[in-house]
Structure 1
Amino acid sequence: MEEELIITSEVMNDTLLITLIGDLTKTSGEKLLNFHQWEQGLPNNLSIFIINFDKVNYINSAGIAYLIRLCRLLAGNHITMRAFGLEYHYEKMFSIVGLSRYLSYYPSQWAAVEGIENITKN
């Protein structure tokens, strides 16, 4: 049974951190794309986008397709994109389908935000 996706967001400095809780599928992928008008960039001209996958239980091919769409929308706005909390098999799958061109993967939130000050100064 599909678990509904809950999306929360938090702003830290020049960073938008979104946390995904539940399953990432076709239905929830639509919810993710409608969470914000991504084609306009991040809210308040933020320049760094981090996705927390710690509480994502399941991602299917449709969910991956929605992530690719999201990343392509943000890449057009020169947004730095990072992710953490991915299970190894999803990280490997993301690399296979090309998401690693957009998202850099980190083992923890601390690692994902490490060095952000240097990015925002440049």
Structure 2
Amino acid sequence: MPDDFKVFVDLAVSIPIIHIEGEITSEADGEILGKYESIPQEKRDRVILNFHGTSYINSAGIATLISLITKASEANKKIEFAGLNEHFRKVMDIVGLTDFVLIHNSLQEALK
């Protein structure tokens, strides 16, 4: 796992937030999915992934996000994205994730 990769959950606000920093690659898969699983079931109706500190994402990282979105969707839960820079926003659009998640311009907007 790259040294600069970090993922942590914030349950202090009304909507759970998974903060992702660094590079999202195949090595991040278990950690991201594990953090989602660590959120109590009753709080998973809407979970925000905050990409503000994300520096890189490859196809395996995209596959991780698809897996997370699928898992949430099968349980009638929602995943939302916040903090994407313009490049990552285009990538999410190109791979079609924008059809399945709500993308907010900022974390503050997502929490409204």
TM superposition score normalised by structure 2: 0.86
Q: Note the C-alpha offset of 1:7.
A: 1.0
Q: Equivalents in 2 of 1:8, 1:35: separation in Å?
A: 7
Question: Which residue is equivalent to 1:16?
Answer: 16
List structure 1 segments (4+ residues) > 4 angstroms apart after TM superposition: none
Kindly report the root-mean-square deviation, in angstroms, between the aligned alpha carbons of the 2 structures.
1.7
Counterpart position of 1:37: 37
Q: Aligned letter for 1:25? A: T
- Larger CA Rg, structure 1 vs 2: 1
The TM-score with structure 1 as length reference comes to 0.79
**CA deviation map 1:19-64 (0-9, x unaligned):** 01111001112321233438xxx51411110011000111111101
**Structure 1 counterpart of 2:88:** 90
CA distance in 1, matches of 2:106, 2:32: 22
Could you tell me whether the CA contact under 8 Å between 2:26 and 2:60 is conserved in 1? yes
Percent identity between the aligned chains? 27
Listed as ranges, the gaps of 5+ residues in structure 2 are none
- What number of residue pairs does the alignment pair up? 109
Contact 1:4 1:28 in 2 (8 A): no
Cα distance in structure 2, aligned partners of 1:105 and 1:20: 15
Q: 1:3 to 1:104 in 2, by over 3 A?
A: farther
Of 31, 42, 49 in structure 1, the residue corresponding to residue 47 of structure 2 is 49
